[in-house]
Structure 1
Amino acid sequence: MIAPLILASVAVGCQDTDGNDNGKGPGAKSPDRSRTSQSPGGGAGHDDGKESARPSPRSSDRPAGGLTCDQLRNAELQNSELRLPDAPAGSISFTDGRWEGDGIVIELQPQCDIGDMTGDAAPDAVAPIKVTTEGTGRFYALVTWRNDAGTPVPAAAASLGDRTPVESVEISTAPPKQATVVYLTRGDADPAAVVTIRRTAVYRVAGPVMAELHHSDAPYTP
């Protein structure tokens, strides 16, 4: 009887001291990758077509059943129910984050976040787009895609103005469902070619519109 008892004691001693059997047992915890922290964009300076490619603070790697930011790269952007600011009429869908037609180019911007914006508990997506016209205009807009059984469907939008690059987008994790957007803009008396203000604005979905609730401004120097 002594030999079996000795062998059992040795087997117990070989386990990890935290009781999770080298991270593979029932007590092991997988790392939470759903909220990977990244630094928001540090400013784009004047809009010369080289806006920051830094993503928003959270990753697009989301649990099953939610949308991902990568899905937006080939998602529908405009349909009969949603007309985007500064975009031409008709149906528009991205192909690898881009659409072009009638001398207009629309590009999905890298800042993006996932969370419930429509109140149905399904994770939606919010991201900015840039509309480049034949002239000097580079118009930015904010778009919410609702989660339709795992498919992103454009649901609401708001214009951010001409040459106003977005630095970050973050959806609140608790009610009320809101998106905080940080972007660069300018005062009414400033030339259109420069940005002098870093604006932090809060939006909610109100029908087909992303309505601004409030904003705060801080000086910005390129």
Structure 2
Amino acid sequence: MNALIPRPRMEVAPGAVHVPDWLSSDLQRTLVSECRRWASAPVPMRSAVVPGGHKMSVQTVCLGWHWQPYKYTRTADDVNGAPVALLPDWLIELGRDAVVEAYGDSGKLYTPDTALINFYDENARMGMHQDKDERTDEPVVSLSIGQSCIFRFGNTSNRNKPYMDLEMQSGDLFVFGGPSRFAYHGVPKVIAGSVDPESGLSSGRLNITLRCTGMS
């Protein structure tokens, strides 16, 4: 979504970089189209159930490795038992480009092996959490498409303050690694009526996170 006043690139914390409007409208539409395909087969998009029985409000489908709270597997044992779809080379390259955008040439070796694709409707939320199921401290790449949201990025010690609330708009890139790799973060709110009509979505928010699992 093109702002009247350009939004500046910002290092939110050491190793945590927000790049507004990084994805072109054409690429957003391509990602939306591909996500619709990935969400139907071989493993359908679903709301994961955390230990204790709580169903997440966000719906998820995965590529490369299947994530369920709180582990990675090659088959979707909590859904239909099918092997997950492969992570395509072009999406790996997009993740590498994102890390180069955030960190410069040091990102050229970044090779993600999984993508978690989350869909938020206007009522969906994501509580403060760490991405720590991976066996590596390689950066996480986060791409936002569709409706804007409030993205809360916190500290590495606990879910409480200090944290910063950022507005993530369609096309935005956020990369966090280094000292911020295990920072708590979440989405307390999807902003109603904020969908970018050029994104390919009529409602809701897609968040694609690319990660290195450190598994083989």
**Superposition TM-score, scaled by structure 1 size:** 0.26
Structure in which a larger fraction of residues adopt helix: 2
Larger radius of gyration: 1
Which fold has the larger relative contact order, with Cα–Cα distance below 8 Å and residues 6 or more apart in sequence? 2
Q: TM-score, normalised by structure 2?
A: 0.26
